[in-house]
Chains A and B, each alone.
Chain A
Amino acid sequence: MNRLVLVAEMTGRDLWRRRAVLGLLAVVPLAFYLARRDSTGLAVRFLSLGLAWAISTAALFSSNAAKGVERRLRLGGYRAGELYLGRLSAVAAIGTVLALAYFALVVVDQELSRNGTVLLSLLLTVAVAAPLGTLISAVTPRDLEGTLVLITTIGLQFLIDPAQSYAKLLPFWSNRELATYAVDMTDAGYLWRGVTHAVCYAVVLATATAAMTLVRLRRRRHIRVVAASGSR
């Protein structure tokens, strides 16, 4: 547990010191929000997508930066799960801070009677975005390829009509359901569909990434460790 917290702490420090990048990423949700500030429903939805973009990108870059070091840390006694969960926790924590900040902005700037749903939507966005960025890092070799995959994913999220059935395949489809529930005062079906979709996506992404991390950082079969004689 302590080592998991330490990995999270060091990942957080590493991310926090990339202030220029973090600052630019933090502005993405704001830019999306301001672009449709006149329409509350769209403003909330675009804010969530901007947050998704920012957190996925942070997770992608953080995971890529850690790839080489993690193999050494694994040799040095860490468990693969500690490395994965520690890094994911750090990204999720930063995402949560950002989500709370933007929630405060929405509360001050918009008139909503279901504020709690907006907060829930932003937090679920973080829960999906953090493992999404980590997964993209796991399946692409470098930042450039990962960024292109991410742009495609988030871009499709903007372009595809959420009413289409296949739109549910996209990771942030839940944003539309939750934003509709929060802004248009629709029935609870929107809320449950959104929550279910986001939770399922978060679990699947986190599980898939965990499995890939375990494979990447596995102990190789050709290594046999025997008791050392005359040591220590």
Chain B
Amino acid sequence: MRDRDPAESMVTPGGTHRRPVRLQARGITKTYGGRRVLADVDLVVHAGEAVAVVGANGSGKSTLLKICAGLLSPDAGEVVIAGRLGYCPQEVGLFGFLVPDEHFTLFGAGWGLTRQQARRRGRRIAAQLDWDARVRTQVRHLSGGTQQKLNLTLAMLGDADILLLDEPYQGFDRGSYIDFWNQLGRWRDAGKAVVVITHMLDSLERVDRVIELSAAERGVR
């Protein structure tokens, strides 16, 4: 794993290093079926910092995010989380026969929101992604991009301090894609720690730091 151009990337108007650490992963190692995917990976993300994780297919990007979210156990290493965590998986994890408002209600209750609060907050976040979530359409009938917007909205519903986003823009049209990166900047400016997996190299100037994962079997580049 390596940081690209750290001298340039770590400087933010707020001074990233003076802000509290929100996420700290230390010595993360993971092996799948005899193949080492992650080898002794460290990751530190501060409040008000956006970090992009890039790398070839199979380099362990999604695995790293799942381990940071606590969905997967590493073979070694630990993750320290300071704050509320929001996670947007690459695959859409939704109930196909429920409508968006019902998802807001269900997910919002986990964060202690009433039905009305959850619906209001979900619709507001969706609007920031240029989506009117008041539709009574079952999720299975929504387009792939719109489902992904719902997926992303649910990750934000708990007003998380740390956002782990695994290629959250899949299926977005160009306008939505630009909106997403603008919104990511606003989240960062609001003090959230954001980790986003991306293959879109043209958007890397929108983040503070880029971390490149290389296949662990080939060693650290």
18 contacts between A and B (CB under 8 A): A2-B109, A6-B106, A7-B106, A10-B95, A68-B91, A71-B71, A73-B106, A76-B110, A77-B111, A219-B70, A222-B70, A222-B74, A223-B78, A224-B81, A226-B82, A227-B82, A228-B82, A231-B191
Q: Is B49 an interface residue (CB 8 A)?
A: no
In chain A, positions 201-232 with a C-beta closer than 8 Å to chain B are 219-232
Question: What B residues does A114 contact at CB under 8 A?
Answer: none
A222 touches B102 (CB 8 A): no
Known: A71-B93, A73-B110, A77-B110. A228 touches B83 (CB 8 A): yes
Chain B binding surface SS class = loop
Question: What B residues does A6 contact at CB under 8 A?
Answer: 105-106, 109
A75 touches B78 (CB 8 A): no
Question: What A residues does B100 contact at CB under 8 A?
Answer: none
Q: Is B44 an interface residue (CB 8 A)?
A: no
Known: A3-B110, A6-B105, A228-B161. A222 touches B98 (CB 8 A): no
- Within the complex, the shortest CB–CB distance from A52 to chain B, in Å, comes to 24
Known: A222-B73, A224-B80. A72 touches B105 (CB 8 A): no
Question: What B residues does A220 contact at CB under 8 A?
Answer: 70-73
Known: A2-B109, A69-B94, A226-B80. A75 touches B71 (CB 8 A): yes
Q: Within the complex, which residue of B22, B69, B73 is in contact with A221, where a contact is CB–CB below 8 Å?
A: B73
Question: What B residues does A75 contact at CB under 8 A?
Answer: 69-71, 85, 87
List residues of B whose CB falls within 8 A of some A CB.
19-20, 22, 47, 67, 69-74, 77-85, 87, 89, 91, 93-98, 102, 105-107, 109-112, 138, 154, 157-158, 161, 191
* Stretch with Cβ within 8 A of B (4 or more), from A13-21, A25-33, A125-133, A144-152: A13-21
Q: Is A190 an interface residue (CB 8 A)?
A: no
Question: What A residues does B69 contact at CB under 8 A?
Answer: 75
Question: What B residues does A3 contact at CB under 8 A?
Answer: 109-110
B110 touches A14 (CB 8 A): no
A10–B118 Cα distance when bound, in Å, is 15
Question: What A residues does B74 contact at CB under 8 A?
Answer: 222
B77 touches A17 (CB 8 A): no
B106 touches A10 (CB 8 A): yes
Question: What B residues does A18 contact at CB under 8 A?
Answer: 97
- Within the complex, the shortest CB–CB distance from B64 to chain A, in Å, comes to 12
Known: A76-B111, A220-B73, A222-B79. A69 touches B161 (CB 8 A): no
B87 touches A224 (CB 8 A): no
Question: What B residues does A68 contact at CB under 8 A?
Answer: 89, 91, 93
Q: Is A167 an interface residue (CB 8 A)?
A: no
B82 touches A78 (CB 8 A): no
In chain A, positions 104-130 with a C-beta closer than 8 Å to chain B are none
B97 touches A228 (CB 8 A): no
Beta-carbon nearest neighbor of B77 in chain A: A222
Question: What B residues does A227 contact at CB under 8 A?
Answer: 82
In chain A, positions 26-69 with a C-beta closer than 8 Å to chain B are 65-66, 68-69
- Within the complex, the shortest CB–CB distance from A157 to chain B, in Å, comes to 30
Question: What A residues does B81 contact at CB under 8 A?
Answer: 223-226
Question: What A residues does B110 contact at CB under 8 A?
Answer: 3, 73, 76-78
B96 touches A65 (CB 8 A): yes
Beta-carbon nearest neighbor of A77 in chain B: B110
Question: What B residues does A13 contact at CB under 8 A?
Answer: 97-98, 102
Known: A6-B109, A13-B102. A72 touches B87 (CB 8 A): yes
Question: What B residues does A14 contact at CB under 8 A?
Answer: 95-98
Beta-carbon nearest neighbor of B26 in chain A: A222
Question: What A residues does B191 contact at CB under 8 A?
Answer: 230-231
Query: Which of B80, B95, B98, B158: most chain A CB closer than 10 A?
Result: B95
A75–B98 Cα distance when bound, in Å, is 20
- Within the complex, the shortest CB–CB distance from A66 to chain B, in Å, comes to 8
- Within the complex, the shortest CB–CB distance from B45 to chain A, in Å, comes to 13
Question: What A residues does B72 contact at CB under 8 A?
Answer: 220
A115–B87 Cα distance when bound, in Å, is 53
A6–B138 Cα distance when bound, in Å, is 18
B95 touches A229 (CB 8 A): no
Question: What A residues does B138 contact at CB under 8 A?
Answer: 17
